[in-house]
Structure 1
Amino acid sequence: MVFAKKHWIIIGSIGSTLAIAIIVGVTVGVVVGRRKSEQTTNEQRAFDILAQNPLIDGHNDWAMIIRAILQNNISGHDFYNMTQYDRKNGTPSQTDIIRLRKGQVGGQFWSIYTSCEHQGKDAIMSFMEQIDVMNRLIEKYSDVFQFVRTANEIRQAFQAKRIASLFGVEGGQAIESSFSILRLFYQMGVRYMTLTHNCNTPWADQNQVDRINSTLIKNNGLTEFGKKIITEMNRLGMLIDLSHVSKKTMLDVLNITRSPVIFSHSSAWTLCNHTRNVQDDVLQLIKSNRGIVMVAFTPGFIICNRQRRVTIPDVAAHINHIRNVAGIDSVGIGADYDGIDDTPEGLEDVSTYPKIIEYLISQGNWTNDDIIKLIGGNIIRVIEENEKISRDLQKIIQPFEDLIPLNDLIKYNLTQCRYLDMYTDTSYL
């Protein structure tokens, strides 16, 4: 028992005074001791849950940082400690092996990303370079990471005490409107594709078209070619990621997909009306779809018009809101580390995941089973459902062989770097 400082109260005889003093001291000590015990219990509960169940984050941009800082040169660099590598604005990398281990990360979707400026030029090459650098990093630290393609392989990697490593292509510009490239990325291990980044593809709209007074060219959601992309992704078993897309694109996808979808790094629009967040009517559709919204820690998505620094309770509010609207089976974590310059207080890097879990536990309405679903159970279930639906679809649907309509490419001025020899109508050339 830890005793607080005794408060001496003079009432009556010396014996009475001593008795009262001891009682007061013991009472205060019990309260302080209980608070410390509760704090330790929450911390221990979080540790135990994470030790026995994989925390799988939906989105980390470490590969982008390696490209920007090291030009994808991983030899001679220490990836156990990346704090010495400053980003352009002086912010250290938010990811390295030491901090991943401290954060008890069990699995990670590594974002395969290069900027929209590559679209129509060298997008395919630049995205393949990012797959290559992550392949080399995983091989270099094969005692830490394990490349996985399936839900079962995630479990196997976790049992082997390695960080299950999956790839997610961030931005449909990567496939240059080609079913062939989409399939090749899947063969290389890509298990989700974000349909757009912050630029339209010729077949899908991005979120910024929803901004007030936007003057961006619009497709009005998905084009007919875009709808075929969704069907082909269902057939392959590649998860459809709706982070970054416009609301109309979200609705079009949810109207036609046969598989559960994901938002790899988005938050709740009701709490912050950013176009990167998910509105409540879409959350209801996600519940019906059995999909998942993986909450981003991006401060600008958590509090709009910020007057103060974002905190752990602010992030938890988004998790709780999505849980309340879409259900416990449709919420996860997609922090977006190394894709954000600023971070919430207390969630500065990948070492801090246990802190958000401890806070949720402290709220009193999260059971162990709820936490297990949040940290990884839900995304594993979504992957498994995509795998099953894929097997069924491959029995009845053949791979798509269509070319995107040439006018769709012309609309976005994407023909100048293409030979276009497979188009029979060469009048545009």
Structure 2
Amino acid sequence: MKYCLLLLFLFSCTFSQAQSYKKIHKKAIVADSHNDILSTCIEKHYRFDNNLKVKTHSDLNRMRKGGIDVQVFSIWCDGSFGKGQAFNRAIREIDTLYAAAARNPAKMKIVKNYADLQEALQHKQLAAMMGVEGGHMIEDNLAYLDSFKNRGVCYMTLTWNNSPSWATSARDETHDSLLHQPKGLNDFGKQVVKRMNAMGMMIDVSHVGEQTFWDVIHTTTKPIIASHSDAYALCPVPRNLKDSQIVAIAKNGGVIDINFYPGFIDSSFERKSDAFDTRHKKERDSLLALNPESYYASDYLYAEYKDEIQAMRPPLSMLIDHIDYLVQLAGIDHVGLGSDLDGISITPQQINDITDYPLITKALKKRGYSKKDIKKILGENFLRVYKANQL
């Protein structure tokens, strides 16, 4: 009898803990500031509002299942899209999101301002926002920046890995041989920052070089974001933020949203990834000969060698370590989530797709974060910065 009572007690405690983190997650406003499903859908000819389970990390119904209330959809194309092409590609992705919203008015709403956001939340719709990932998409034309804002773009990442003529990226600033311009923002780049401040569009410093970052800090009058970056001290890659940058974003009133990519979380991941590529180089080359699209070979190899990929994935605890580090350095009001799902091929363990988002809440609760602080990380911090840029 005592044994049965003990089992019942242990079951009750476990059930209570599970209900507790799920309840926190359900009641919180969960915002993800960076998801690449739109470009993935265009590349692979998918529809975001179809069931894409197994094919992608995200789709409309799985976002709802994962408790996502606010999703910023990345508008992205790489540097091979030059003038006359990059802006048009961005518009195509924006049109794709508008089409999905038109087909699903009860499930999602395009958000253009804070009032739209509140309305979407009130009606239990996914608040669909957009962030242009790369300043090359304005093609050195401020009118294109205005056009993005009018369509509902809430932030622009000033650079992607490539550098527009007016700002330098982290990749280019750390590879001087590839750089054909001075580091940082030029006069036009500072005009872009000031124009974004004036129109209420958030400035995103993920991907930008250090000089560009500091030029932004000294130019902006509004809080900025790093929509999908991690801590350099824990994983020293150029895409991550150094301590001085983290402190500067906090002083600016901004927010750093954690990226889920293992290469930005785990300092040993690049070595493991390189070893995987070396082992399977012949197969990759053969696959690329059949289909030059880079995702084709990767998708096949990752599916074929699941055990090897699983061994490369860092534990979820390492992602939480980055959150802890940023909170300790910047404060609880300056950390959020920017997963980069569907822009990354490998995720941390336990996070297999967007429906696993509640496990982050569970992990934060286990680390001792209060309900109030968890809600800040899950979305309130990002929404605060978005609102501050509207004023």
| TM-score, normalisation: structure 2 | 0.85
Counterparts of 1:287 and 1:195 in 2: how far apart (Å)? 19
1:302 aligned to 2:302? no
Counterparts of 1:104 and 1:152 in 2: how far apart (Å)? 21
Pick from 50, 53, 66 the counterpart of residue 83 of structure 1: 53
In the alignment, what sits opposite 1:374? 377
The alignment partner of 1:294 has SS state of strand
1:231 aligned to 2:194? yes
Counterparts of 1:261 and 1:287 in 2: how far apart (Å)? 9
Bigger mean CA deviation after superposition, 106-115 or 116-125: 116-125
Counterparts of 1:296 and 1:82 in 2: how far apart (Å)? 22
Amino acid at match of 1:370: D
1:197-239 deviations in whole A, cap 9, x for unaligned? Answer: 1100000001112436654324311111111110110001000
- Asked if structure 1 preserves the Cα contact closer than 8 Å seen for 2:75 and 2:132, the reply is yes
1:154-188 deviations in whole A, cap 9, x for unaligned? Answer: 22212211110001111001100111111111011
Percentage identity across aligned positions?
Answer: 32
Larger radius of gyration: 1
In the alignment, what sits opposite 1:58? 33
Bigger mean CA deviation after superposition, 197-206 or 136-145: 136-145
The alignment partner of 2:380 has SS state of helix
In the alignment, what sits opposite 1:406? none
Counterparts of 2:238 and 2:381 in 1: how far apart (Å)? 24
- Asked if structure 2 preserves the Cα contact closer than 8 Å seen for 1:208 and 1:214, the reply is no
RMSD: 1.8
Counterparts of 2:176 and 2:155 in 1: how far apart (Å)? 31
Deviation at 1:102, TM superposition (A): 1.6
Counterparts of 1:281 and 1:37 in 2: how far apart (Å)? 46
Matches within 5 A, 1:170-189: 170-189=133-152
- Asked if structure 2 preserves the Cα contact closer than 8 Å seen for 1:202 and 1:219, the reply is no
Runs of 4 or more consecutive aligned structure 1 residues displaced over 6 Å after TM superposition: none
In the alignment, what sits opposite 1:287? 250
In the alignment, what sits opposite 1:46? 21
In the alignment, what sits opposite 1:193? 156
**Unpaired segments ≥5 residues, structure 1:** 4-21, 85-91, 389-429
Aligned residues: 350
In the alignment, what sits opposite 1:140? 103
**Unpaired segments ≥5 residues, structure 2:** 273-311
Matches within 5 A, 1:332-347: 332-347=336-351
The alignment partner of 1:117 has SS state of coil
Counterparts of 2:134 and 2:10 in 1: how far apart (Å)? 47
Matches within 5 A, 1:295-334: 295-306=258-269, 308-334=312-338
| TM-score, normalisation: structure 1 | 0.78
Pick from 356, 361, 365 the counterpart of residue 357 of structure 1: 361
1:363-421 deviations in whole A, cap 9, x for unaligned? Answer: 12x11110111111111110111111xxxxxxxxxxxxxxxxxxxxxxxxxxxxxxxxx
1:67 aligned to 2:37? no
Instruction: Provide closer, same or farther for how the CA distance between residues 161 and 196 of structure 1 changes in structure 2, counting only shifts above 3 A.
Output: same
Counterparts of 2:355 and 2:110 in 1: how far apart (Å)? 21
- Asked if structure 2 preserves the Cα contact closer than 8 Å seen for 1:193 and 1:238, the reply is yes
